[in-house]
Amino acid sequence: MLKQYGYVRVGAIVPELKVGNVLFNADEIIKQIKLANEKGVQIVTTPELSLTGYTCSDLFHQDILLTSSLVGLQKIVDEIKDLDIISIIGMPVSLDNQLFNTAVIISKGKILGVVPKTYIPNYEEFYEKRWFQSSLNAISNTITLLGEEVPFGIDLLFQDKENKNICFAIEICEDLWSVTPPSNEHTLAGANIIFNLSASNEIIGKYEYRKNLVKMQSAKTKCAYIYASAGINESTTDVVFSGHSLIAESGNILTEGERFSFDSSLIIADVDTYKIMNDRHKDISYMGIKPHLPHRTIQVAIKDANTDLLRTYSMYPFVPSNEEKRNSRCYEIFNIQASGLAKRLKHTGMKKAVIGISGGLDSTLAFLIIVEAFKKLGIDNKNIIAVTMPGFGTTGRTYQNAVNLIKSFGATLKEVDIKESCNVHFNDIGQDPNKFDVTYENVQARERTQILMDIANKEGGLVIGTGDLSELALGWCTYNGDHMSMYAVNTSIPKTLVRYLVKWIADTHENMAATIYDILDTPISPELLPPDQKGNITQKTENTVGPYILHDFFLYHFFRYGASPKKIYLIAKNTFKDMYTDEEIKKWLTFFLKRFFSQQFKRSCLPDGPKVGTISLSPRGDLRMPSDGDVNIWLQDLEEF
């Protein structure tokens, strides 16, 4: 089931090992492969020279060790031939009068190919050239192994027969540490999963360096990178190994094994090849250079793991879960927003900004951005014309919070009650003022925008927009009302991130923290409908459009990775299983898709605003979408689930 969504379950084994005891090692590898198969792993790798042990040294010149290696390989092939798993075994292989350090790929009793190591380390504690030759010295491109003639070389790609978007390749240890790793060529040729069989010893600082190396190679080549290194049982003489195993994807570590254990270990992760391919398709520079190495493609049968998805996703994809990282991210975003506005003010020569303050989260964030921009430019906060515009739905709580916020920063407070002018307009257009429909609401939104624009003309300032990314995705804004401004600072900040940004600012600005904390506790509302008899907000946005936590999740995976509705539904069900029913998730995903397509015309004429993250819906930046695109195939895809 998972393969149709691009997921491949991969594993890295660090087996318990006895240096030079091939049969013991083969038995332990078999045991771990069987365990991996039980857990639904489709492709698994062992470390470098795991069949013999990496530290055999001059024992590699002993015929009995090489002969035993073939016996051990035969045993592995025979013992796992009925398992539906592809296994990659590290072992020495003799060919063309030379000895090679190789990875042997086996599946269902067959050897699929043999990949030799290219870069042979021969410095400091490494002296592999005493025993092994580089792949560059190979003459043959096939090898007879266990009676079968199979492909041999570093030019091998292994592609799934059913899903051509799933393709893996192999490099060995030092290959990754070189200036031009073979995986550069493999990924340019189409591989999106790289397995590395390694034997990397431990010295101070090497752990972090190696981890960063794997992360960056997976990021640079846009691939999943599975790394398995020799365990502590390899330690001998002057070197100690830890059994460092990692699975990374596009610069992110998905899982990491425990180091310095004498027991065997297995790490597993579901890597997302569709996500990887979407990243490659978007990055036109990715294929800016063609691979220099011609590759041979071997068709393989990768089973479809009929299991639940192991991979987990954050409920808040726009918000880092780590507090330190989140604070750092908030600082960065805050400065990007403020710097963008400061540049616009500096370029236009204007010294004033006009903003409507509602007492809600979005306008609070935009106001604080203006304060920071003025600070950068040395402009007095009195030049911030902050306008509160009470309407039919304004409550005492939001009104007072708006006033307190403005006064706490010394901005200029203007109050314009819009009820009378809206009633005049209702009369002009024949609208029943007791009919609380979309016209009733939008008249207020457009009246407020007109007031802000006119004040800006009068004062010689810029109207600063407050709408956020989530509202733009849903089109939840009044066309030529709150939809419009002269510079929109929140345009690429999703609703779930707005809350964290505002809280971060409150935590670092004690003088007005109480007001902001109360704003954070206020329900999200446009306050366009009358409050209840006790003066409380009756119009709550999420009751109408659905939970923003879901919509931001949908937006992130739909836009950032081009995920299909079925795939989004699958991962949303897993992620929010304790919060929402499957029916609720499907309902709001359907709502999101319909709104995203039908409301594109609003996004086609957005005001300028700073891009701060990987997702922006600006028609001049990241989104070139027809205003009249048809949503039906996306809805049909969801219905097929």
Kindly list the catalytic residues.
48, 117, 173
Q: Of 561, 614, 567, 623, which is closest to residue 596 (Cα–Cα)?
A: 623
Q: Provide the angle, in degrees to the nearest 10, between the axes of the packed helices 582-598 and 548-555.
A: 60
* Amino acid at the residue 346: K
How far apart are the C-alpha atoms of 432 and 426, rounded to whole Å?
7
What residues does 196 pair with on adjacent strands? 171, 227
How far apart are the C-alpha atoms of 638 and 617, rounded to whole Å?
23
Q: Judge residue 449's burial from the number of C-beta atoms within 10 Å of its C-beta, 0-12 exposed, 13-18 middle, 19 or more buried.
A: buried
Instruction: Count Cβ neighbours within 10 Å for each residue of 398-426 and write b for 16 or more, e otherwise.
Output: bbebbbbbbebbebbbbebebeebbeebb
How far apart are the C-alpha atoms of 40 and 29, rounded to whole Å?
17
End-to-end CA gap in the chain: 11
Helix (H, G, I), strand (E, B) or coil at 415: strand
Residues near 445 by Cβ (< 8 Å), separated by ≥ 6?
478, 481, 482, 526, 528
Cα dihedral 127/130/133/134 (nearest 10): 20
* Amino acid at the residue 508: T
Tokens of 553: 């999740």
Tally the C-alpha atoms within 13 A of residue 459's C-alpha that lie toward its C-beta.
23
Helix (H, G, I), strand (E, B) or coil at 50: coil
At 635, give phi and psi (nearest 5°).
-70, -40
